[in-house]
C-alpha cells in the first residue's frame, strides 16, 4: 500500500526541474549531435535516411573535407593569426592600462573615456580596407595580424585598468622607483598579480580573431592566407548541398577551439560572471 502510493506521488517540483534541465540540454545538444551524426554518414545514407544514426559509421567525410577544403594550412594560419594578434593586443592593453590606472599621464580619464567609446563603435571596415591597401597591410600575414590588434584593446584596457587600480600603489614605490626598470617591474610584479585578468583578455581577443569572418572576407584575397572561418565559409559557398562533407569540415575547424574551451571554461565562465561587478 505505502509503496504504491510512493510511486504515484511524484513530486511535481522534481519533475519540473528534470524536464526543464532536459529541454535546455536538448536546445544546445541537438544541433551538435546532428552535425556529429551526419559527419559520419556516407552521402548515400544521407540521401536515403539522414536522421537515422549510421551503421557502420564512416570517417571518409573527414579526409575528403580536409583535402578538398585545404583545411590543414588554414588551421595553421588561424593559430598564427589569433595567437600573435591576441598576444600583442593583451600586451599593449597592459602598457596602456597601467599608466592610465595610476594616473601617470595628464589626461588619464580622457584616454580611458576614448576606450569606453571604442566598445560601442561599429567596426569601421570600409576605412580599414582603404587603410590596409594604402599601408600595404592588405592580403598579407603581417598586415592581417596588425589589423586585428585594435579590436581587443578597448575591453582589455577597461578590464585591466579596473584590475590594476586594486593593486596597492606602495608596490610601485618599493620596486619600480627603486631601480627596477619600468618594463621589468610590469613583467615581474604587475603581470603575475594581474594574471587572471590577463588570461581572460587574451582568451576573449583570441576567440574574436579566431572567429572573425568579416575581416578575412575584406582584408584577404589569397586562399593560402585564409583562416578557417573564411575557408569553411568558402567551402560552404561552393558545396552548399554536400551536407555530410560540410558537417565534417565544421567539426575539423571547431576542434582546436573546442579543446581550448574544455581547458579554459572554468576561467571564462567565472570572469563572465563578474562582468556586472
Partner 1 sequence: MWGGLSVGMVFYLLFGIAPALGNVLVSFTNYSGLPGSPTSFAGLSNYTALLTTEGPGFVSSIIDTLFFVVGVTVVQNVVGMLFAHRLQGQGKAATLLRILAFFPIVLGVTVVGIVWLLLFDPESSPAQALFGAFGIQSAFFGSNTVAMPLVIIVQVWQNLGFTMVVFIGSLKMIPRSIYEAAGLDGVTPWKRFSSITWPMMAPAVTVNVLFAVIGSLTTYNLIYILTDGDYGTNTLGMLAFNSGFGGTPDLGLGAAVTVALLVVAICVAVPLALLLRYRERRLLA
Q: Which residues in the 216-255 window bind partner 1 by CB under 8 A? A: 217-218, 228-230, 232-233, 236, 241, 243, 246-247, 250, 253-254
Single out the residue of 6, 12, 122, 192 in contact with partner 1 (rule: CB under 8 A). Answer: 122
CA distances to 81, 117, 131, 253 from 122, rounded to whole Å, are 22, 10, 17, 27
Q: In the complex with partner 1, which residue's Cβ is closer, 1 or 117?
A: 117
CB of 2 to partner 1, least distance (A): 29
Task: Note whether 126 binds partner 1 by CB under 8 A.
Answer: yes
Q: Which of residues 11-70 bind partner 1 (CB under 8 A)?
A: 17, 20-21, 24-25, 27-32, 34-35, 38, 46-47, 50-51
Contact 160, 198 (CB under 8 A): yes
Residue for grid cell 595628464? 106
Half-sphere exposure of 98 (CA within 13 A, CB side): 19
Task: Note whether 159 binds partner 1 by CB under 8 A.
Answer: no
Site string for partner 1, 132-151 (x = CB under 8 A): --------------xx-xx-
CA distances to 17, 138, 156, 232, 262 from 89, rounded to whole Å, are 43, 19, 8, 26, 23
Which among 56-64, 65-73, 193-201, 204-212 is the span making contact with partner 1, rule CB under 8 A? 204-212
CB of 217 to partner 1, least distance (A): 8
Single out the residue of 15, 182, 223, 238 in contact with partner 1 (rule: CB under 8 A). Answer: 182
| 26 Cα distance to chain centroid | 24
**Nearest by Cα to 172 from 155, 193, 201, 200:** 193
Amino acid at each position: 500500500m505505502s509503496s504504491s502510493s510512493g510511486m504515484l506521488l511524484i513530486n511535481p517540483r522534481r519533475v519540473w526541474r528534470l524536464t526543464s534541465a532536459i529541454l535546455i540540454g536538448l536546445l544546445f545538444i541537438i544541433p551538435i549531435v546532428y552535425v556529429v551524426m551526419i559527419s559520419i554518414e556516407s552521402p548515400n545514407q544521407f540521401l536515403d535516411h539522414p536522421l537515422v544514426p549510421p551503421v557502420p559509421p564512416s570517417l571518409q567525410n573527414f579526409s575528403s573535407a580536409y583535402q578538398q577544403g585545404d583545411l590543414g594550412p588554414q588551421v595553421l594560419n588561424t593559430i598564427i593569426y589569433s595567437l600573435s594578434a591576441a598576444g600583442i593586443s593583451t600586451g599593449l592593453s597592459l602598457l596602456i592600462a597601467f599608466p592610465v590606472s595610476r594616473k601617470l599621464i595628464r589626461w588619464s580619464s580622457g584616454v580611458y573615456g576614448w576606450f569606453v567609446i571604442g566598445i560601442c563603435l561599429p567596426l569601421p571596415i570600409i576605412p580599414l580596407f582603404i587603410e590596409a591597401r594604402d599601408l600595404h597591410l592588405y592580403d598579407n600575414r603581417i598586415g592581417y595580424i596588425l589589423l586585428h590588434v585594435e579590436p581587443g584593446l578597448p575591453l582589455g584596457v577597461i578590464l585591466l585598468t579596473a584590475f590594476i587600480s586594486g593593486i596597492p600603489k606602495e608596490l610601485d614605490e618599493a620596486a619600480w622607483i627603486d631601480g627596477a626598470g619600468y618594463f621589468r617591474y610590469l613583467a615581474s610584479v604587475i603581470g603575475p598579480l594581474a594574471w587572471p585578468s590577463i588570461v581572460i583578455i587574451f582568451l576573449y581577443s583570441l576567440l574574436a580573431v579566431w572567429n572573425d569572418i568579416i575581416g578575412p572576407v575584406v582584408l584577404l584575397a589569397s586562399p593560402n592566407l585564409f583562416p578557417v572561418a573564411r575557408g569553411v565559409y568558402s567551402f560552404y559557398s561552393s558545396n552548399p548541398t554536400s551536407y555530410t562533407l560540410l558537417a565534417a569540415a565544421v567539426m575539423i575547424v571547431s576542434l582546436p577551439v573546442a579543446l581550448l574551451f574544455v581547458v579554459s571554461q572554468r576561467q571564462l565562465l567565472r570572469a563572465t560572471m563578474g562582468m556586472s561587478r
